[in-house]
Chain A
Amino acid sequence: SQTIHQWPATLVQPVGSPLSLECTVEGTSNPNLYWYRQAAGRGLQLLFYSVGIGQISSEVPQNLSASRPQDRQFILSSKKLLLSDSGFYLCAWSWSGGFQGYTFGSGTRLTVV
């Protein structure tokens, strides 16, 4: 069976510090991978998605970047965090051969102070 791991669960970082959130998927090959941010009352906002190693598409210009160094690894990064980067970040995967829904990780609650 397929599983998705996302860590850390919570993170408190000072303004201006770097960020690295990691997501890995097990039990599947060549998944589509996604990073979402969830704000209260506004649903999920797609930040980045990837259909393969090294292939990253950005949906929203921002202070964040994403990388996919391995087939089942997706990383969300920032060089200098802003207060506005606070939020609940979710990693997700879907089958590449036809959309059957997202499977989400358990999320990271990021607070920038």
Chain B
Amino acid sequence: TQLLEQSPQFLSIQEGENLTVYCNSSSVFSSLQWYRQEPGEGPVLLVTVVTGGEVKKLKRLTFQFGDARKDSSLHITAAQPGDTGLYLCAGVPSNYGQNFVFGPGTRLSVLP
């Protein structure tokens, strides 16, 4: 079993649509991070959220950390083909040591 679950696993949408992807756990996390990974490349850090209920915006991307710090969401407004990629969430569960665990990712495809 994975400490972090992500949904949906795959998502294919048209350019201009909005979407939300989710990262969930039964464990409490001290912080959560979101990464985007393009094929054949390493993941690139997008944001870190540390406070329950925190909302961060990065251009058309909005990240939210759940009040109980067990889940997070990523909302993309007016998706563009350049948003295509694998979105990974990662965090350190409480009482789990100091290394991050990664979710399996949501693979997003934005069609022109």
- Contact residues of A with B, CB < 8 Å? 6, 9, 41-46, 49, 59, 90, 92, 99-107, 109
What are 10 contact pairs spanning A and B, CB under 8 A?
A9-B40, A41-B104, A42-B2, A42-B104, A44-B102, A99-B31, A99-B98, A100-B48, A102-B100, A109-B40
Q: Cβ of A104 and Cβ of B103 under 8 Å apart?
A: no
Q: Cβ of B40 and Cβ of A104 under 8 Å apart?
A: no
Q: Cβ of A106 and Cβ of B48 under 8 Å apart?
A: no
Q: How far is the CA of A92 from the CA of B9 in the complex (A)?
A: 24
> Chain B residue with minimal CB distance to A10?
B40
Indicate whether A106 sits within 8 Å of B105 (C-beta atoms), given known contacts A43-B88, A44-B88: no
> Chain B residue with minimal CB distance to A100?
B48
B45 at the interface (CB under 8 A from A): yes
The count of A-to-B residue pairs whose CB atoms sit within 8 angstroms is 52
> Chain B residue with minimal CB distance to A90?
B42
Q: Cβ of B9 and Cβ of A49 under 8 Å apart?
A: no
> Could you say which residues of chain B place their CB within 8 Å of the CB of A109?
40
B95 at the interface (CB under 8 A from A): no
Interface string of B1-18 (1 = CB under 8 A from A): 010100001000000000
Within 8 Å by CB of A105, from B42, B99, B100, lies B42
Indicate whether A43 sits within 8 Å of B2 (C-beta atoms), given known contacts A92-B42, A107-B41: yes
Q: How far is the CA of A6 from the CA of B43 in the complex (A)?
A: 14
> Chain B residue with minimal CB distance to A57?
B99
> Could you say which residues of chain A place their CB within 8 Å of the CB of B40?
9, 106-107, 109
> Could you say which residues of chain B place their CB within 8 Å of the CB of A102?
35, 43, 45, 90, 100
Q: Cβ of A104 and Cβ of B44 under 8 Å apart?
A: yes
> Could you say which residues of chain A place their CB within 8 Å of the CB of B2?
42-43
Within 8 Å by CB of B42, from A46, A99, A106, lies A106
Taking the closest CB of chain B, its distance from the CB of A108, in whole angstroms, is: 10
Extra 15 A-B pairs, beta carbons < 8 Å, given A43-B88, A105-B42? A41-B105, A43-B2, A43-B4, A43-B101, A43-B102, A44-B88, A45-B102, A49-B99, A90-B42, A90-B43, A99-B92, A101-B45, A102-B35, A104-B44, A107-B42
